[in-house]
Amino acid sequence: MSDTFDLINNIQSGCSRVQKKHFIKNETITTYIQKRNQICIMIVGTADLIRYDLNGNKDIVDKFNENDIFGEAFYPVHTNNELTVIATTDCDVLFLQHDDLYKKCKTNCKFHNTLSSNILELTLKNSVHQNMRIEVLSKRTIREKLLTYFSILSSKDFSKSFTLPFSLTNLADYLSVDRSAMMRELKNLASEGFISKNGNKIKLLYK
């Protein structure tokens, strides 16, 4: 994939249907609204998709990095639980509507043509992210969730050693488990020789 599809350069040529916005760390990028069908593309930075249930418990539903695509168009909003995207670093994000993908600009801008030709690849990448979390959450125990997630990260980096993309607190939120229970399980995995751990750096010892 080219450097963010050259979107940063192509956006300079102007597209009446696209907005580019800057956000600082911890700022809300967007809140998912039913039937809006907004599409967002992360140009620079990282962000988390966060959901709070009716009891106020926090879940990290997904994590977005450069070139990732997100928004209601890819995560239908059908519950009362609010989904919010929060910047975890300073970010540049593009905003457009799903229907605009299939409407040519009056100027037939290069950005719009480039995006349309790459939307399938972006969508497939989004599906991979969602399927990965489903696989992790389908495991019954904290140990199984941790080892499954670690295995995915190891395969992604082609290395037994990797750095967690979350703080440990956020990792517990991502796995939908109690942080104290997760910390005990991490300690057990280390003492039993499954992993070695140094801060957010993990090394698998069993693969």
**Distance (Å, rounded) from C-alpha 1 to C-alpha 23?**
25
Instruction: Round to whole Å and give the CA distance between 207 and 151.
Output: 9
Quick count: other Cβ atoms within 10 Å of Cβ 76? 11
Query: Could you report the per-residue pLDDT of 145-195, keeping only the tens digit for each?
Result: 999 999 988 888 788 999 998 889 889 988 989 999 999 999 999 999 999
Determine phi and psi for 205, rounding to 5 degrees: -110, 0
Q: What is the DSSP string of 34-52?
A: TTT-EEEEEEES-EEEEEE
Taking the alpha carbons at both ends of the chain, their separation in whole angstroms is 30
pLDDT for position 1: 47
Structural tokens at position 55: 């009891």
CB atoms within 10 A of CB 88: 20
Q: Is this prediction's pTM over 0.75?
A: no
